[in-house]
Amino acid sequence: MRSVDLSRRGFLSGFVGAGLALPSLTTSAAAQAPPNRPLVVTSKTNNAVREEITTTAWDIMRAGGSAMDAAERATNVSERDPRDATVGYGGDPNEDGFHQLDAAVMNGADNNNIGAVAALENIKTPSSVARLVMDRTDHWMLVGRGALRFAKMHGFEEENLLTEEARQHWVDWKENLSNRDYYFPPSAPSEPPGGTINVLTLDGNGDIAGVTSTIGHHFKLVGRVGDSPIIGAGLYVDNEVGAAGATGHGEECVKNSGSFHVVEMMRQGLSPQEACEAVCQRVMDRHNGKPMFNLKFVALDKQGRYGCGALRRTGFAVHDGRGHRVEDGRALLPRLTQAELDALPWR
C-alpha cells in the first residue's frame, strides 16, 4: 500500500487538490526540450521596482542559490520600496487607516512545503514571516495578533507603514464617501494604483518556488483576507509540474482555486500560457462572459516555459538567460471603461 503523508502540513498542502489531481500528460517534446533555467516570472510591472525584483532573484539562483531564497528576497524588494504602493509599505491602508498585510510562500524542493500570514500589522516584509511559519513551525498560517507576536519573537521590528502619500489617499477616500456626512471633499481627489506581487522561480537544480504578497484591496474592511495567503488560490507550486500566482479580485480567485487549477492544467499538458487563459475563461464563463473585475495569472513550468493570462488587464516581467524584460501576456476582454470603474469599489 502506498504510504500517505499525514502530517498537518502534508495534509494541508495536498488538501486543495483532494480528488482533483489529474494524470500527467506532459508531451514528450516539452519534456525533451532544453530547460530554461534559472527563470524568474513576476506579476509586477511597476517601472520603479520590476527589474530589481527579477535581477535579485536571478542573481541568487545564478550563484547557486535556491528558488525559495530567490523568490523571498525578490519579493522583499517590492515590500520594502514605497514606490511600489501596492504591496505593503507605502500602499493604501484599510478603512480605518492602518495596514493589514497577507503573504504566502511555497517551496517545491521541500515537498511542496507551505507557510502564510494574514492580517499582519506593522511588519514590512510579511513574506519573510510566512517563510518562518513554514520553516520554524508545524503550522501553515498565522493571522493578526498571533502573526505579529511570532514576527517579533524572530526579531522583526514594528514600523509605521503609512506614508504621507498613502495617508492622503485615505483621507481623500473618507472625504468622498458621502455627500451627507461632515467631511468636505477635496477639490481633486487622487486615484491610487492597485496590485499584488507574485514571484515564481525555477532554479538551476530544477526546483520551483513561489511567493505572493499584498496589501489587499484599497480601504478594505478591517480583517479582510483575500486570495494571496490562501494556498491554491493566490499561489500554488508543484515541484514536478510548475507554479502559478494570481493578482486581481481575490474573492473570485478563491472561489475558483485559481492558481491550483492553472498548475493542474499544466499537469495535463497545457503550456503555462494556455493554462492561465483556460482558468480565466472558466471564470469569465461563470459570469456570463462579462466579469466586472480583473483577475490575472502568471505561471511557469518545469521546462522553463512561462505565461500570463488575464480577464481584463495583463502584463508581467521575466528574467532568464536573455535578461530582464516585460511581456504582454493576453487578456480575454478589454479593460473596464471609466464609467464601469466608477460604479465599482476600489480594488
Domain with residue 48: its CATH number is: 3.60.20.30
Is residue 323 classed as helix, strand or coil in its secondary structure? strand
27 a catalytic residue: no
Q: Answer yes or no: is 106 within a domain.
A: yes
Q: Answer yes or no: is 4 within a domain.
A: no
pLDDT at position 180 is: 79
85-124 confidence digits (pLDDT tens): 778 898 999 999 999 999 999 999 999 999 999 999 999 9
Q: Answer yes or no: is 338 within a domain.
A: yes
Q: What is the b/e burial string over 301-320, where b = at least 16 CB atoms within 10 angstroms of the residue's CB?
A: bbbbbbbbbbbbbbbbbbbb
The tally of domains found in the chain comes to 1
Q: Answer yes or no: is 13 within a domain.
A: no
Q: Answer yes or no: is 28 within a domain.
A: no
Q: Answer yes or no: is 20 within a domain.
A: no
- Please tell me the distance from the alpha carbon of residue 51 to that of residue 47, in angstroms, as a whole number: 8
30-80 confidence digits (pLDDT tens): 445 578 999 999 999 989 899 999 999 999 999 999 999 999 999 999 999
Residue indicated by cell numbers 504591496: 87
Q: Answer yes or no: is 10 within a domain.
A: no
Q: Which of 196, 201, 212, 214 is catalytic?
A: 196
146-192 confidence digits (pLDDT tens): 999 999 999 999 999 999 999 998 998 888 888 778 888 765 555 55
Q: Answer yes or no: is 12 within a domain.
A: no
Between strands 316-320 and 39-42, the pairing is antiparallel
Stated as kind and residue range, the H or E segment containing 148 is helix 144-153
The domain containing residue 279 runs over which residues? 33-342
